[in-house]
A and B are shown apart, each in its own frame.
Chain A
Amino acid sequence: MAVLVAVLAVFLLCLLVLVRFYAVLKTGSKCRPGTKGPVAVLIVAGSGGHTSEILRLMECLSAAYTPRHYVIADTDKMSEEKICAFERSKPPSHSESQFTICRIPRSREVHQSWCSSIISTLNALRYSLPLVFRLRPDMVLCNGPGTCVPLCVAGLLLGILGMKKVLIVYVESICRVQTLSLTGKILYPISDYFVVQWSSLRDKYPKSIFLGRIV
């Protein structure tokens, strides 16, 4: 009897999570944090090319996107410098707006095998969850480094638990013309806005948004 109750409880819990999952995904277009004041952004900078591309996107965002929390992989030396230089270059009207830089373990090195990728992603999730729960951003902006998967999952979880709807905005790298990156494929179903930079990708992925080349 006890076993039956336990099984039933687990089943109901799973059902509840699924229903919440679906509900959270559906509320993306209705979620308009900008109408209530500044928008807190979590920006996932990767390394090298990813960081340069995401900073290009940040260039044109207004001071309404404040505060800005940058997340970088702990093995990444270059990105911190680039981010600080970028924030310093902002016009004086932005100077009161604040930014922070947080480090988490890298979830996947280039050429790492699938199996060990999963383990290190789980490890990265251990750090991502407390970070996202503490910062409670209105949106996560990312463009492809593996590090963004656990952070987006943490954001999704915040929504599933009913604590806060975190918008997931994914911009596929300009390098991707015909196929999505692995991260893109994973985040396509769970992102609220999925932006691609070549029309050939928009044709293949109906949910995606094509604004032309934006970096």
Chain B
Amino acid sequence: MKTVFVTVGTTSFDELVESITCAESVQALKARGYERLVLQVGRGSLLPAADSCPHVRLEAFRFKDSIAEDIKQADLVISHAGAGSCLESLCAGKPLLVVVNDKLMDNHQLELARQLHMDSHLLYCTCSTLTETLRTMDLSVLQPFLPGQPKLFANFLDKALGV
């Protein structure tokens, strides 16, 4: 069953939860063949009930020790712009749509999401453009994200310190 996993990290992002569960968004997801919607809603005030969304199988929870398993099972991850969530999804090789919270100004975490978008590793939108993006997005433009190489750092340090 094609699954979408939505994550807001440790904060709250009610607007995203609202936008993704609205009739138009669900319709757009259905049209793309997604049938299951898993929401991690953090500290938000919205925790949608399983039957609140006809046409898709909906599951929602606040927090888990690790969302690695949810990411692994997903065919598409929709995430807030947090660096941790972005990197975890990309390293798992999942297509990623980042929804920016434009009510949070001057959030330094945006730097990374913006750069990764410029390098074509993820798609990028706001809550007001989410439905439209779900309709028109082309996941095939995304470039694979290669893991960083700590070995380069180790080599550099060995050389500098004479190890």
Contacts and interface: CB of A to CB of B under 8 A. Distances in A.
Interface string A157-188: 00000000001010101111111010000000
B148 interface: yes
Interface stretch (B27-35, B93-101, B107-115, B129-137): B107-115
Interface string B73-106: 0000000000110010000000000000000000
Given A34-B158, A177-B115, A212 B150 contact: no
B161 A33 contact: yes
Given A49-B84, A167-B161, A61 B154 contact: yes
Given A48-B84, A174-B148, A195-B153, A64 B111 contact: no
Interface stretch (A3-11, A52-60, A114-122, A125-133): A52-60
Given A34-B158, A39-B161, A177 B150 contact: no
A180 B87 CA distance: 19
A176 B111 contact: yes
A139 B152 contact: no
Contacts of B149: 212-214
Given A34-B163, A35-B162, A193-B160, A175 B152 contact: no
Nearest to A178: B111
A70 interface: no
Contacts of A52: 84
B83 A32 contact: no
Contacts of A215: 148, 150
Nearest to B150: A60
A176 B110 CA distance: 10
A61 B87 CA distance: 22
A62 interface: yes
A211 B115 CA distance: 17
Interface residues of B, number: 23
A147 interface: no
A57 B150 contact: yes
A209 interface: yes
A138 to B, nearest CB: 8
Contact of A174 (B112, B158, B161, B162): B112
A201 B84 CA distance: 20
A194 interface: no
A61 B156 contact: no
B110 to A, nearest CB: 9
B157 interface: yes
Contacts of A31: 161
Contacts of B150: 56-57, 59-60, 214-215
B87, B114, B161, most chain A CB atoms within 10 A: B161
Interface in A26-71: 29, 31-35, 39, 48-49, 52, 56-57, 59-62, 64-65
Interface of B: 83-84, 87, 108-109, 111-112, 114-115, 148-154, 156-158, 160-163
* Nearest 4 A/B pairs, CB to CB: A34-B163, A32-B162, A213-B148, A60-B154
Interface of A: 29, 31-35, 39, 48-49, 52, 56-57, 59-62, 64-65, 138-139, 167, 169, 171, 173-179, 181, 193, 195, 197-198, 209, 211-215
